[in-house]
Chains A and B, each alone.
Chain A
Amino acid sequence: MSPISLHRRDALVGMAAAALTPTTAGLSTFGLGATFAPVPARAKTRRYDLRPVEVAAGVWMIEGAREVFAPANGGAIVNIVLLETRQGAVVIDTGSTLGMGAEIRAFADDRLGGVATVVNTHHHPDHWFGNGAFADRQIVALPQTAAACAQYGQDFAASLYAILGPWMSGTSPLPASGTTEAGEARIGGRALRLLALSGHTQADLAILDQDSGTLIAGDLLFLDRAPSLPDADYGIWLKALDRLAQLQPSGTVPGHGGFHRSSAALAQTRAYLEATRARLTQAADLGLAPIEAMSAGPAPAFAALGANPEEYLRSVIHRWADHETEALPLVGGL
């Protein structure tokens, strides 16, 4: 983000503030969240009752709901993986809230001998907003991921407070303090291969657990849950899928969706990206306005995926300009 666009963002917040002046008690604290009716505080912190399942030897998975952020799910919409090692668990992603992170931490402490290290696969908040529960441990991410977390953390927090309300209690963004890079790593005797890819975002870390052959794909793979495209680059993402296809893992944990021993997520994510790209290209090329493209809904084959149509609607908003630039010839200027 250039300094100029930072100002522009301020300008928008300024619009909100000016409009809400008489009634906005919480604006400075929660930013955008203040535009919502206050959520009544609950006496007791809510619990997620996360249920880790050992999907492969020493590979524990906590499966998220195949939904978008909603008060009913508290942000438990993302897959978390804990790899058992002699030095404790390697925790891959930490969930959407401090409370969720704390439950993951408790499982690692009680059952896996503590926490060896924490890895954030990318900067989307469901993958790292639980970092606060691991503040005393090493937390690493790709350099671009850590930078994006620092840059957008407060915006994410404002949105998530507005959506999740009391679930967010105590949560504040804690970006990874350490960086990691592509290559082989050995932690507590466990051999890992880290792949620095991109396409879902500007930096997407995938991890191959060499001991079990399990691929922890982060959000490069989705299964039976619509992929999130707000920060996507279709072409780069498809190339990343080619890389993942070469790994031939024994099993796969996608960022969202179930553990599986086939190439289902790879095929489905590829098909979804290609179909959505083609749909929006067609919409822009037919002269549709973005609201019409939204109203038409996802490509029919993917309409029933978890988190659709919400994810599709987001995709139109964030990706529309790319397609429109292709569809509209340059005809003049200043």
Chain B
Amino acid sequence: MGALLTSLLPGGDRPLILPATGAAAVGGDPFDSGMWPLHREAYLGKEARWSNDPAIAVLAPKAAENSAHVPFLIDATALPGRVDEILVTVDYSPFAHAMTFRPGRALPFLGFAVKYEVAGALRASARIGQDWHVGAAWVSALGGGCSAPSVAHARPDWQLGFGEMRARIWPETGRLRVNIRHPQDTGLADGVAAHFLTELFLLDADGAEIAALDLFEPLEENPSLTFLLPQDLARGEVTIRARDNLGNGFRGKVSGAEGAP
């Protein structure tokens, strides 16, 4: 858990949100229950070797205060070996497959938020060679006694600033955070066509791929993503390239080099 920055805030050395394993990670039922037996066959493969591994931490709030923006953080940096990919699935969603992250030269660490209206688990399956290491966090879609919905759905027309990309690298910690203005429409609402991001790449100064993300409908509107880069890459230039299902391309460049803006 050394990759987390929670303790940088005063009092943050006693974190409120801790990873769970086994039944506690999926709401009390056995880990291999609910939609998981179906999802692991569909996404990991029928004969896939998998285990619930405490070394992959999935952090989430217990209750979704705003079901359109439920934040998660997957930290697989404690897994032994090089993580080839991390597949993210949501147990109870018409779009079970939320994303696949191929960390490549970045660390196996990813922050994001998804739409989440139904209580259930989000699972992160990290593949190292032929083995899947699976972690999860359970979120109640409402509740915890704190979740009267807010008026925050109100906001200017989405076309205002569509595609705008904000990002920053923190070279000291290797953090890279990106935000893209995008409606992320699922296509399930009458009269609103599906419109969502499908891929995002981090490229180094030479244009070579650092990491890649396949993205699907559940990603939040105006998504923010958190990556973790090794020191050498965090002190250089990184290009962020993304694309959506309607063929729009998005591009931005950040630098963690000394004296960079």
Contact = CB atoms under 8 A, between A and B. Distances in A.
Contact of A289 (B177, B191, B254): B177
B224 A324 contact: yes
What is the interface residue range for chain A against chain B?
35 or more
B9 A332 contact: no
A298 B71 CA distance: 17
A291 B93 CA distance: 21
A289 B71 contact: yes
Contact of B4 (A160, A292, A314): A292
B248 interface: yes
B42 to A, nearest CB: 15
> Which of A7, A290, A311 has most chain B Cβ within 10 Å?
A290
A163 B179 CA distance: 33
Interface in A300-334: 300, 303, 309-311, 313-314, 317-318, 321, 324-325, 327-334
A158 B147 CA distance: 11
B183 A287 contact: no
A48 B158 CA distance: 44
B26 interface: no
B150 interface: yes
B71 A291 contact: yes
A296 B71 contact: no
Given A291-B71, A291-B111, A162 B142 contact: yes
B179 A16 contact: no
A191 interface: no
B73 interface: yes
Contacts of A310: 144-146
Given A230-B151, A287-B5, A329 B146 contact: no
A328 B222 contact: no
B145 A15 contact: no
Main secondary structure of the interface of A (DSSP, over half): helix
A14 B188 contact: yes
A152 B149 CA distance: 8
Main secondary structure of the interface of B (DSSP, over half): loop
Given A2-B157, A163-B143, A297-B12, A318 B164 contact: no
> Which of A125, A202, A283 has most chain B Cβ within 10 Å?
A283
Interface stretch (A67-75, A102-110, A243-251, A252-260): A67-75
A294 interface: yes
Given A291-B72, A296-B12, A332-B251, 19 more contacts: A1-B154, A13-B117, A15-B95, A20-B118, A68-B144, A124-B148, A152-B149, A286-B170, A288-B6, A289-B73, A290-B71, A290-B111, A291-B17, A292-B73, A297-B12, A299-B11, A314-B65, A325-B179, A332-B252
Interface of B: 4-12, 14-17, 59-61, 65-69, 71-73, 92-95, 111, 113, 115, 117-119, 140-158, 162-168, 170, 173, 175, 177-179, 183, 185-192, 221-222, 224, 226, 240, 248-254, 261
Interface of A: 1-2, 4-5, 7-16, 18-20, 32-33, 35-36, 67-71, 123-126, 148, 151-152, 155-156, 158-160, 162-163, 201-202, 230-231, 279, 282-283, 286-300, 303, 309-311, 313-314, 317-318, 321, 324-325, 327-334
Give 3 nearest A-B pairs by CB, closest first.
Answer: A332-B252, A296-B12, A334-B163
